[in-house]
């Protein structure tokens, strides 16, 4: 299949665009998605949106924060428009919706939201090994690669709307499964073939990230085109962050503004469980350290709004936490305006601009 060369451009849901028009960009969000599938393998998205039939209200919010009722389904268009408009009010221009294949990507609605709000939307294309496709064991790396290439070069689900990034690639690790190895290879090959960048969900636990990146390189992937997401989990491990940076990738702190009750924390557990605003403060401290060490050209920030609880209308911080609350906090900490411009504008622009297929 001939691959079009859109080197030097970015691909949004409304078509190819000059990267200079991206402006302030959130690199890792979800506007429409169904992440309830992740918490419950038998979950039926066509049935009631919450397990046990309980609807999400202010009165049941505490149950949803504990995971006792599901809030993973994001399908309300009016709510999405209001939340995206709020981001725009705070100065936002572009949102990258990295919802993986099979978790309810909604091409046409996303394009409508982009037209209505004036915010550019870029869609992702990648697999999340644990949930989709169900028959991943039987699919070859070639088949997985071809379907990603089709999303990037032809369009998603026959809509003609093309993905602008390969992500989020659903690697959880601990340990990395054979299916996960397949989707890492497929992402690397599709990146090489199309010139699109790769955005990883977590990309393995701790040092597994280095193995994941090694696999990308072995498959011909360009590590300078790779984003390691959900780095908030290792925000307390600056030596590891530096080791990953030294491979030439971007590191993305993308759970910022996540509110919740950190019930998952266990005494003696030294790793960050980024489920409280205090953890955003810890990420801020780490960013100061990384800027000091000279890594400002490869830091990315986002919220990973990935369920109703993250939306302002359901008690969350929405898509504007960074612009509204976090960046002012970084400024107080001593981060310069030019550095913030890199995190929010220049670094996303470099990642999202296609290079020539090879
Ligand atoms: Zn993720």
* pLDDT surpassing 60 at residue 263: no
| Structure confidence at residue 269 (pLDDT) | 56
The answer to whether the Cα torsion of 43, 40, 229, 66 is positive or negative is positive
CA of residue 18 to ligand 1 center, whole Å: 27
Q: What is the spatial distance between Cα 78 and Cα 169, in angstroms, rounded to a whole number?
A: 28
CA of residue 7 to ligand 1 center, whole Å: 27
Cβ atoms 6, 195 nearer than 8 A: yes
| Structure confidence at residue 50 (pLDDT) | 42
CA of residue 1 to ligand 1 center, whole Å: 30
CA of residue 181 to ligand 1 center, whole Å: 17
Please provide the average confidence, as pLDDT, over all residues in the chain: 90
Cβ atoms 349, 22 nearer than 8 A: yes
Domain ranges across the chain: 16-35+72-352
CA of residue 236 to ligand 1 center, whole Å: 19
CA of residue 230 to ligand 1 center, whole Å: 7
CA of residue 305 to ligand 1 center, whole Å: 10
pLDDT band for position 78 (cuts 50, 70, 90): very high
CA of residue 252 to ligand 1 center, whole Å: 11
Q: What is the spatial distance between Cα 242 and Cα 260, in angstroms, rounded to a whole number?
A: 29
Q: What is the spatial distance between Cα 353 and Cα 99, in angstroms, rounded to a whole number?
A: 19
* CATH fourth-level superfamily of 16-35+72-352: Metal-dependent hydrolases (3.20.20.140)
pLDDT digits (tens, 9 = 90+) for 280-312: 888 999 999 999 999 999 999 999 998 899 999
| Structure confidence at residue 349 (pLDDT) | 98
CA of residue 304 to ligand 1 center, whole Å: 7
| Structure confidence at residue 62 (pLDDT) | 84
Angle between helices 77-89 and 107-117 (to 10 degrees): 40
The DSSP bridge pattern shows strands 10-12 and 15-17 to be: antiparallel
| Burial of 46 (C-beta count, 10 Å sphere; 0-12/13-18/19+) | exposed
CA of residue 180 to ligand 1 center, whole Å: 14
- Provide the phi-psi class of 56: left if phi over 0, else alpha when psi is between -120 and 50, else beta: beta
User: Cα–Cα distances in Å, from 167 out to 8, 29, 51, 134, 265?
Assistant: 19, 11, 28, 18, 28
CA of residue 188 to ligand 1 center, whole Å: 18
CA of residue 136 to ligand 1 center, whole Å: 19
pLDDT band for position 49 (cuts 50, 70, 90): very low
pLDDT digits (tens, 9 = 90+) for 132-169: 888 888 999 999 999 999 999 999 999 999 999 999 99
CA of residue 183 to ligand 1 center, whole Å: 15
pLDDT band for position 66 (cuts 50, 70, 90): confident
* pLDDT surpassing 60 at residue 276: no
State what percent of residues in the chain have pLDDT above 70.
89
CA of residue 29 to ligand 1 center, whole Å: 9
Q: How many CA atoms lie within 13 A of 189 on its CB side?
A: 18
* pLDDT surpassing 60 at residue 85: yes
Q: What is the 3-state secondary structure (H, E, C) of the chain?
A: CCCCCCCCCEEECCEEECHHHCCCEEEEECCCEECHHHHCCCCCCCCCCCHHHCCCCCCCHHHHHCCCCCCCEECCHHHHHHHHHHHHHCCCCEEEECCCCCCCCCHHHHHHHHHHHCCEEEEECCCECCCECCCHHHCCHHHHHHHHHHHHHCCCCCCCCCCCEEEEEEECCCCCCHHHHHHHHHHHHHHHHHCCCEEEEECCCCCHHHHHHHHHHHCCCCHHHEEECCHHHHCCCHHHHHHHHCCCCEEEECCCCCCCCCCCCCCCCCCCCCCCHHHHHHHHHHHHHHHHCCCHHHEEECCCCCCHHHCHHHCCCHHHHHHHHHHHHHHHHCCCHHHHHHHHHHHHHHHHCCCCCC
CA of residue 2 to ligand 1 center, whole Å: 31
CA of residue 341 to ligand 1 center, whole Å: 24
CA of residue 21 to ligand 1 center, whole Å: 26
Residues in CB range of 59: below 8 A, 6 or more apart:
none
How much is the average pLDDT of 181-192? 98
């Amino acid at each position: 299949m001939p691959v079009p060369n859109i080197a030097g451009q970015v691909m949004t849901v409304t078509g190819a665009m000059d990267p200079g028009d991206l402006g302030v960009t959130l690199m890792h969000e979800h506007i429409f998605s169904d992440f309830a599938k992740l918490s419950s393998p038998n979950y039926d998205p066509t049935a009631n949106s919450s397990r046990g039939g309980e609807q999400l209200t202010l009165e049941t919010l505490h149950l949803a924060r504990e995971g006792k009722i599901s809030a993973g389904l994001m399908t309300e268009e009016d709510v999405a428009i209001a939340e995206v408009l709020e981001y725009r009010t705070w100065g936002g221009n572009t949102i990258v919706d990295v919802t993986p294949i099979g978790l309810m990507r909604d091409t046409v609605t996303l394009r409508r939201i982009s037209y209505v709000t004036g915010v550019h939307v870029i869609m992702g294309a990648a697999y999340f090994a644990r949930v989709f496709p169900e028959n991943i064991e039987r699919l070859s790396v070639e088949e997985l690669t071809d379907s990603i290439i089709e999303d990037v070069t032809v369009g998603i689900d026959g809509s003609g709307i093309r993905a602008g990034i390969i992500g989020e690639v659903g690697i959880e690790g601990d340990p990395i499964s054979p299916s996960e190895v397949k989707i890492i290879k497929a992402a690397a090959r599709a990146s090489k073939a199309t010139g699109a960048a790769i955005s990883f969900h977590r990309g393995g636990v701790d040092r597994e990230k280095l193995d994941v990146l090694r696999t990308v390189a072995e498959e011909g992937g360009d590590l300078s085109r790779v984003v390691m997401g959900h780095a908030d989990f290792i925000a307390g491990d600056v030596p590891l962050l530096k080791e990953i940076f030294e491979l030439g990738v971007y590191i993305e702190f993308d759970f910022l503004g996540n509110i919740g009750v950190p019930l998952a924390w266990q005494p003696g557990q030294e790793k960050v469980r980024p489920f409280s605003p205090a953890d955003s403060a810890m990420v801020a401290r780490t960013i100061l350290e990384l800027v000091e060490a000279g890594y400002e050209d490869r830091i990315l920030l986002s919220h990973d709004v990935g369920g109703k609880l993250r939306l302002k209308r359901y008690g969350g911080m929405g898509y504007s936490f960074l612009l509204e609350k976090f960046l002012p906090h970084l400024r107080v900490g001593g981060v310069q305006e030019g550095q913030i411009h890199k995190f929010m504008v220049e670094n996303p622009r470099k990642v999202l601009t296609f290079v020539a297929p090879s």
